[in-house]
């Protein structure tokens, strides 16, 4: 089984996001970047499947500028066998990203595509579903457990109120939750080896992808400040009275 893993470079989740003064987007100048945490679990799961003998090759792919090769190096350090980048100087909308990944899947012919359920920068949660539609493959989203059995992929999904187990025929697209695994600690020798590995580069035109924007960003702003914290009441009767007569919720 060949696995294609999609990864994205985002602002490190430990860094406080800053908005540009003109409100046109997030300020990434001199900001620490890293692999999207949900994608880390996807890479880790792909490598574990290969280590268990269920997969023969793991290929990491990202869509972005030269700086995004940083996350491909990280994927190689995790244990991915190969890496490729679809070149795009400007950030792409989920639809264009899904088309680019579909074109890469057409070239690579994987049996399984793994990716995080969403990226922490835009929280769109769209690319995996769109990709499955482009490819005409089955999909399982929000995966918190994955196992290969009898030529099928058994996926435990997080759903409202609990969990649900699906059997998905391959080829398929699976998007991952943080609960799926605990990504390994990358050792320095692995990082040094990853720096020497070649990264294949493809262009959007080469893949036949139209990246024309369909959306217009009107503005980005900080969230409104939170109101003052709650307060204690002396009794349940006082709480009910406040909820009924002041808050008007009962």
Mean pLDDT of 77-93: 93
Q: Rounded to an integer, what distance in angstroms lies between the CA atom of residue 5 and that of residue 27?
A: 27
pLDDT (0 to 100) of residue 150: 84
pLDDT (0 to 100) of residue 108: 95
Q: Tokens 């795009």 sit at which residue?
A: 88
**Does residue 49 have a pLDDT over 90?**
yes
**Does residue 227 have a pLDDT over 80?**
no
Q: What does pTM read for this prediction?
A: 0.84
For 92-106, 197-211, 220-234, which range has the lowest pLDDT when averaged over its residues? 220-234
Cis peptide before 141 (omega within 30 of 0): no
pLDDT band at residue 79 under the 50/70/90 scheme: very high
- Tens of pLDDT along 96-120? 999 999 999 999 999 999 999 999 9
Mean pLDDT of 50-57: 94
- Tens of pLDDT along 2-13? 999 999 999 888
- Tens of pLDDT along 142-170? 999 999 988 899 999 988 888 999 999 99
pLDDT (0 to 100) of residue 122: 87
Q: Go through the domains of the chain in sequence order and give each one's CATH number.
A: 2-225 (3.40.50.620)
DSSP 161-230: TEEEEEEEESSEEEEE-GGG--PPPPPHHHHHHHHHS--EEEEHHHHT-------------PPPPPPP--
DSSP class of residue 87? Answer: E
**Does residue 217 have a pLDDT over 80?**
yes
What is the average pLDDT score of the chain?
Answer: 91
**Does residue 46 have a pLDDT over 90?**
yes
pLDDT (0 to 100) of residue 4: 97
pLDDT band at residue 223 under the 50/70/90 scheme: confident
Percentage of the chain beyond pLDDT 70 is 99
**Does residue 189 have a pLDDT over 80?**
yes
Q: Rounded to an integer, what distance in angstroms lies between the CA atom of residue 138 and that of residue 189?
A: 38
Contact in structure between 186 and 198 (CB atoms under 8 Å): no
pLDDT (0 to 100) of residue 218: 87
pLDDT (0 to 100) of residue 52: 93
Nearest to 114 by CA among 148, 91, 88: 148
| Alpha-carbon distances, residue 95 vs 6, 99, 117, 143 (angstroms) | 14, 6, 15, 22
**Does residue 17 have a pLDDT over 80?**
yes
Q: Rounded to an integer, what distance in angstroms lies between the CA atom of residue 245 and that of residue 86?
A: 59
């Amino acid at each position: 089984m060949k696995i294609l893993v999609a990864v994205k470079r985002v602002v490190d989740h430990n860094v406080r996001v800053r908005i540009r003064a003109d409100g046109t987007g997030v300020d990434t100048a001199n900001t620490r970047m890293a692999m999207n945490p949900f994608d880390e679990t996807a890479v880790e799961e792909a490598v574990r499947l290969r280590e268990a003998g269920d997969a023969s090759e793991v290929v990491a792919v990202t869509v972005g500028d030269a700086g995004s090769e940083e996350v491909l190096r990280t994927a190689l350090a995790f244990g991915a066998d190969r890496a490729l980048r679809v070149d795009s100087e400007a950030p792409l909308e989920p639809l264009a990203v899904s088309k680019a990944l579909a074109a890469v899947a057409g070239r690579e012919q994987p049996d399984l595509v793994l990716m995080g359920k969403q990226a922490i920068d835009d929280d769109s949660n769209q690319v995996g579903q769109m990709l499955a539609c482009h490819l005409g493959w089955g999909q399982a989203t929000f995966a918190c457990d994955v196992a290969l059995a009898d030529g099928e992929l058994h996926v435990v999904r997080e759903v409202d109120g609990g969990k649900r187990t699906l059997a998905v025929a391959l080829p398929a697209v699976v998007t991952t939750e943080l609960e799926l695994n605990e990504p390994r600690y990358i050792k320095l020798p692995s990082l040094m080896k990853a720096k020497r590995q070649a990264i294949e580069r493809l262009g959007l035109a080469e893949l036949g992808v139209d990246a024309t924007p369909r959306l217009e960003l009107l503005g980005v702003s900080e969230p409104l400040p939170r109101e003052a914290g709650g307060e204690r009441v002396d009794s349940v009767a006082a709480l009910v009275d406040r909820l009924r007569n002041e808050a008007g919720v009962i």
